[in-house]
Structure 1
Amino acid sequence: MKLKICGMKYPENILEIGALLPDYMGFIFWEKSARYFDGAMPDLPKSIKKVGVFVNASLDEILDKIQKYDLQAVQLHGQESVEFCKNLKKNIPNLTDIIKVFSILDTFDFAELKPFEKVCDFFLFDTKGKLPGGNGTAFDWKVLENYPSTKPFFLSGGIGIEEIKKLVEMMQSDVSTKKLPIHAIDVNSKFEIEPGLKNIQLCRDVAMQRLQNK
């Protein structure tokens, strides 16, 4: 599994986390978020893919941020339609991925995914809550045992060190979760000192744990 550290905000902290070489770093461009990013982007290692997180943003806004910050992926965290994703795909660079987010609580109708299969590169499953993301709680992963697709996805929602340990144990067992195409884990609030400021030691721990399980 790859590692995405999301909700980055402060330049010095961004550089410190960048030195740990996560596969993805997420920057939230939703103004209502406590982790809203609107600063200068420091230079990061080329191996790190920068992800812009948007909530019901316009096409022009997304394209502007892609160009301004050289984003390699766009994460859609609102009620973006299939048609919007299709139009976005036509207008962004070929190497820029689209990640479409779906929120889960206790149940989920996976039939919702099918129309998005051809217009998104990845899905992301997060916990349904008051906010579009960053609610700090995990959903019941057993719901994913009914995942009908082969499209790889990001797993998000209140993931901390203990949750990652449980996930690794699940994937090393004989349960059906082992067969799920989990592309990356997405961590945020449980690795913070305050919104947008990541705890370097905790992030280092999860980065090392990921390397040990490769």
Structure 2
Amino acid sequence: MKSIHVKLCGFRRPEEVREAAALEVDRIGFILARGRRRSVEPEVFPDLVREAGPDRSVGVLVDPAMEEIGTWLDRATWKTVQLCGGESPDFCRRVKETFGLSVIKVFHVCQCGKQPAFPLDAYASSVDAFLLDAFAPEGGGGGKTFDWNLIPPVLDRCRRLGKPLWVAGGLTASNVGKLLGRIRPDGVDVSGGIERNGKKCPETMKRFLKEVRSHEDT
């Protein structure tokens, strides 16, 4: 059975990245958008990527200018960008063509209970994966869960398009098993759910990963 892609996100300290990199995780994310609690300091970014490795490093941005992406790439070599704003299909395509990055496009689910009509078809040729996250007014994820009943129709559309779908939003070691027991997205993404007292916790990371892996054979 195909494994579930695991991305641990929101790292700011090299020693915490080193602990995550020692685990069997697929991607390690860094918040490059400014003004967030987990935003990365530019001078530390090369050290973070060095610990994670370029292939596992994901830069998370919200409506960036092309020049902003280029500036972060000048600081370190990383392979994947996660775009969390209103970036257009054309912008995503230009990012791929200009920088050679893989692109994860995030769509946010509001808490209104309505089925979202995401324009997946329009983005299919411009991105490498889609990610569903809960809506946050400030952009990016808000660390909240959303109605998981909204996932299957989106997952079916992604299957038809041949694109993986990842899920984020308030995931923890305590609830990720409930998600995977009901729905089998291609990947999961977690940030606050692997923290303790505002810092990444090695034991919590291990529990989260163990819970995910335990559902791969069910």
Say if 2:158 and 2:165, in contact at 8 Å, map to a contact too: no
| Alignment of structure 1 residues 42-121 onto 2, 5 Å | 42=48, 43-44=50-51, 46=53, 49-93=56-100, 96-105=101-110, 106-121=113-128
Q: Which amino acid letter does the alignment assign opposite residue 166 of structure 1?
A: K
| Structure 1, unpaired ranges of 5+ | 171-176
Determine helix, strand or coil for the equivalent of 2:171: coil
1:165 aligns with 2:170: no
Structure 2 residue aligned with 1:149 = 158
Say if 1:25 and 1:48, in contact at 8 Å, map to a contact too: no
Please give the alpha-carbon distance, in whole angstroms, between the structure 1 residues aligned to 2:78 and 2:114.
32
- Count of residues paired in the alignment: 202
Q: How big is the shift at 1:142?
A: 0.6
Structure 2 residue aligned with 1:3 = 6
Please give the alpha-carbon distance, in whole angstroms, between the structure 2 residues aligned to 1:205 and 1:125.
22
Please give the alpha-carbon distance, in whole angstroms, between the structure 1 residues aligned to 2:56 and 2:95.
19
Please give the alpha-carbon distance, in whole angstroms, between the structure 2 residues aligned to 1:144 and 1:45.
30
Q: Which amino acid letter does the alignment assign opposite residue 210 of structure 1?
A: V
Structure 1 residue aligned with 2:18 = 15
Inter-CA distance 211–145: structure 2 relative to 1 (3 Å threshold)? closer
Q: Which amino acid letter does the alignment assign opposite residue 65 of structure 2?
A: S
Determine helix, strand or coil for the equivalent of 2:95: helix
Identical residues among aligned pairs (%)? 26
Please give the alpha-carbon distance, in whole angstroms, between the structure 2 residues aligned to 1:71 and 1:120.
16
Identify which of 190, 195, 207 aligns with 1:192. Answer: 195
Determine helix, strand or coil for the equivalent of 1:118: coil
Output the TM-score relative to the length of structure 2: 0.85
Q: How big is the shift at 1:194?
A: 4.3
Please give the alpha-carbon distance, in whole angstroms, between the structure 1 residues aligned to 2:55 and 2:98.
23
